[in-house]
Amino acid sequence: PEGCAVFQCRGCRAVLGDSLHLCAQEPRLGVLVCFKVTNGVSWEDSLAIGLEGFPLGCAYYSLCCQSCGWIVGFILYSATRHLAHLRGFFCLFKDSILCYLLKKQITIEATNMNFPDVTLER
């Protein structure tokens, strides 16, 4: 399909996931929300608590690239009402990843990609 992409770490280009497991975009947070990621993604053992900004009042695990240690996203453990629909999903920061487009065989910034509008809020 035209829009199939592989998500790569901006730091080392390790493969983190793909658009087949993409379930939503959250433009206000700048993340791609995925059902599944590769073994190249790990998460920290301890929960972080948001004290300011977007994660204010949320508990989350940071997602890291296993190859280079770059922070590539988060998994919400507990969240405020307006972010509750993201709990348990892999949220990849668009500014921390690159997209390799399979059909065109090119790599572009994830921030320049627009995937079909799907939302988990409903």
Give me the pLDDT at residue 101, please: 92
Confidence grade of residue 1 (pLDDT, cut at 50, 70, 90): low
Whole-prediction pTM value? 0.88
Domains in the chain: ranges and CATH:
5-112 (2.170.150.20)
Closest CA to 75 of 58, 88, 65: 88
Instruction: Work out the average pLDDT over 1-27.
Output: 89
Which tops the pLDDT comparison, 14 or 118? 14
Distance CA 16, CA 22 (A): 12
SS (H, E, C) the chain: CCCCEEEEECCCCCEEEEHHHEEEEECCCCEEEECCCCCCEEECCCCEEECCCCCECCEEEEEEECCCCCEEEEEEEECCHHHHHHCCCEEEEHHHEEEEECCCCEEEEHHHCCCCCCCCCC
